[in-house]
C-alpha cells in the first residue's frame, strides 16, 4: 500500500493550482481551504477550473484531498444568528467539496462559549444532522479532535463518540486525529505504552477504522497543556521516536498523514516532509 503523506497547501490563484503546489512538494495527498477561512463569502468555481482540478488530481495521483472548514464557522455556539449562518456556510463548503470530487471535509467542533460541554455537543450534533440531511454529501465529514483550549469541545474521544452516536447517518462521518491536539489534550502518545493505550481507547469508543486522516503535527506545547501550538517536526515536545511509532502503527496504516506545521516558505514544508518520509519503514 502506498503511504499517503502531504501538507496543507495554498489555493491562491486558481483552485487547481493547489494540486500543482502539492505535486511540486512531492505530496500524494493534501489539505486545502476552498475559500477564505476567515470570511463568509465564497465565489463560485469556474467550470473550467473544476475540470482542471479533477484532471490534475487524477494525473498527479493526489488522493485523498481534504478541505478544512473555515475557522469562523461554529456549530456549537449558543448564538442563534451565528449558528444558522454557520450551518448555511457549512452546507456551501460541503457542496463545494462535492463539486470538486474531494474525499473529505475536516471540521473543528466549535466552542460552547460558556454554556457547557453537554449543550455544545448537543448543538453541534443537531447542526451536523441538518447539514447532512440537507446537503446529502458524497464527501465524508471528518470530526477533528481539539486541544481543549477555552470552551472548545472535542478534546475528549468521548465527545466525538457522543456526536457520532447522535447522528441519523453516522456512516457519513469519520475522524481526523490531530497528533498535536491529542498530546495537548492529555493523551500520552509520546511513550510506546501511552500510544497503545490511547489508540486502544479510541478503538473501543469509536473504532480506528473511523480515522481517515491524521493531522501529523508536532506540538510546541506540553502534554495536557490544552494549548494549541504546532511546531516543526523534531523541535517540540512529542519526540521523533514517538512520531515514527505513530506513522508506522498498523492501526493507522490506511489513514492519510497531512502536516499542518509552520511555514514561512516552501522550504519549511520540504524540510518537514523529508523528515516524515524518513520515518516510514520499508
Q: Quick: pLDDT tens for 203-232.
A: 999 999 999 999 999 999 999 999 999 999
Contact 120, 156 (CB under 8 A): no
Q: What is the mean pLDDT of residues 18-40?
A: 93
What are the φ and ψ backbone dihedral angles of 147, each rounded to 5 degrees?
Answer: -80, -20
**Residue 184 bears catalytic tag:** no
β-pair partners for 214: 177, 257
Categorize the per-residue pLDDT at 52 as very low, low, confident or very high, splitting at 50, 70 and 90: very high
Which residue among 103, 228, 229, 269 is the active-site one? 228
Which residue among 17, 196, 260, 268 is the active-site one? 260
**Residue 260 bears catalytic tag:** yes
Which residue among 4, 21, 159, 181 is the active-site one? 181
**Residue 8 bears catalytic tag:** no
What are the sequence ranges of the domains in the chain?
5-277
Which residue among 215, 218, 229, 269 is the active-site one? 215
**Residue 60 bears catalytic tag:** no
Domain 5-277 part of CATH 3.20.20.150: yes
Q: Provide DSSP, 167-195.
A: -S-GGGEEEEEEHHHHHHTT---SSHHHH
Peptide bond preceding 64 in cis form (omega within 30 of 0): yes
pLDDT tens per residue across span 135-172 = 999 999 999 999 999 999 999 999 999 999 999 999 99
Which residue among 103, 117, 178, 184 is the active-site one? 178
Which residue among 68, 112, 159, 162 is the active-site one? 68
**Residue 68 bears catalytic tag:** yes
pLDDT tens per residue across span 177-187 = 999 999 999 99
Categorize the per-residue pLDDT at 43 as very low, low, confident or very high, splitting at 50, 70 and 90: confident
CA–CA gap between residue 132 and residue 145 (Å, rounded): 20
For the entire predicted model, the pTM comes to: 0.97
**Residue 266 bears catalytic tag:** no
Contact 43, 33 (CB under 8 A): no
**Residue 178 bears catalytic tag:** yes
Q: Provide DSSP, 70-82.
A: PTT--TT-S-HHH
CA–CA gap between residue 40 and residue 82 (Å, rounded): 11
- Mean pLDDT for all residues in the chain: 96
**Residue 144 bears catalytic tag:** yes
pLDDT at position 95: 96
SS3 letters across 209-269: HHEEEEECCEECCCCCCCCCCEECCCCCCCCHHHHHHHHCCHHHCCCEEEECCCCCCHHHH
Categorize the per-residue pLDDT at 190 as very low, low, confident or very high, splitting at 50, 70 and 90: very high
pLDDT at position 39: 80
**Residue 230 bears catalytic tag:** yes
CA–CA gap between residue 158 and residue 118 (Å, rounded): 11
Q: What is the mean pLDDT of residues 57-61?
A: 98
**Residue 44 bears catalytic tag:** no
Which residue among 21, 35, 96, 108 is the active-site one? 108
pLDDT at 237 over 80: yes
Work out the number of other CB atoms within 10 angstroms of the CB of residue 64. Answer: 22
> SS3 for 132?
helix
Which residue among 71, 165, 169, 222 is the active-site one? 71
pLDDT at position 265: 81
pLDDT at 2 over 90: no
Categorize the per-residue pLDDT at 48 as very low, low, confident or very high, splitting at 50, 70 and 90: very high
Amino acid at each position: 500500500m502506498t503511504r499517503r503523506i502531504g501538507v496543507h497547501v495554498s489555493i491562491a490563484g486558481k483552485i487547481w493550482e493547489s494540486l500543482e503546489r502539492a505535486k511540486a512538494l512531492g505530496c500524494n495527498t493534501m489539505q486545502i481551504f476552498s475559500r477564505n477561512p476567515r470570511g463568509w463569502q465564497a465565489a463560485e468555481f469556474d467550470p473550467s477550473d473544476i475540470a482542471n482540478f479533477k484532471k490534475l488530481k487524477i494525473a498527479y495521483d493526489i488522493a485523498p484531498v481534504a478541505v478544512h472548514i473555515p475557522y469562523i464557522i461554529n456549530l456549537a455556539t449558543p448564538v442563534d444568528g451565528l449558528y444558522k449562518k454557520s450551518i448555511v456556510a457549512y452546507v456551501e463548503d460541503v457542496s463545494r467539496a462535492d463539486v470538486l470530487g474531494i474525499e473529505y471535509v475536516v471540521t473543528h467542533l466549535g466552542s460552547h462559549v460558556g454554556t457547557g460541554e453537554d449543550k455544545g455537543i448537543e448543538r453541534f450534533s443537531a447542526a451536523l444532522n441538518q447539514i447532512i440531511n440537507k446537503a446529502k454529501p458524497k464527501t465524508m465529514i471528518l470530526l477533528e479532535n481539539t486541544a481543549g483550549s477555552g470552551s472548545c469541545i472535542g478534546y475528549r474521544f468521548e465527545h466525538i463518540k457522543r456526536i457520532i452516536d447522535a447522528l441519523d447517518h453516522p456512516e457519513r462521518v469519520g475522524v481526523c486525529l490531530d497528533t498535536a491536539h491529542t498530546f495537548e489534550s492529555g493523551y500520552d502518545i509520546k511513550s510506546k505504552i501511552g500510544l497503545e493505550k490511547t489508540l486502544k481507547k479510541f478503538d473501543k469508543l469509536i473504532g480506528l477504522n473511523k480515522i481517515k486522516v491524521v493531522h501529523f503535527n508536532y506540538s510546541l506545547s506540553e502534554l495536557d497543556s490544552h494549548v494549541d501550538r504546532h511546531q516543526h517536526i523534531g523541535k517540540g515536545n512529542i519526540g521523533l521516536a514517538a512520531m515514527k511509532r505513530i506513522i508506522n502503527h498498523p492501526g493507522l496504516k490506511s489513514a492519510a498523514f497531512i502536516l499542518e506545521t509552520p511555514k514561512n516558505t516552501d522550504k519549511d514544508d520540504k524540510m518537514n516532509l523529508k523528515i516524515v518520509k524518513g520515518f516510514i519503514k520499508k
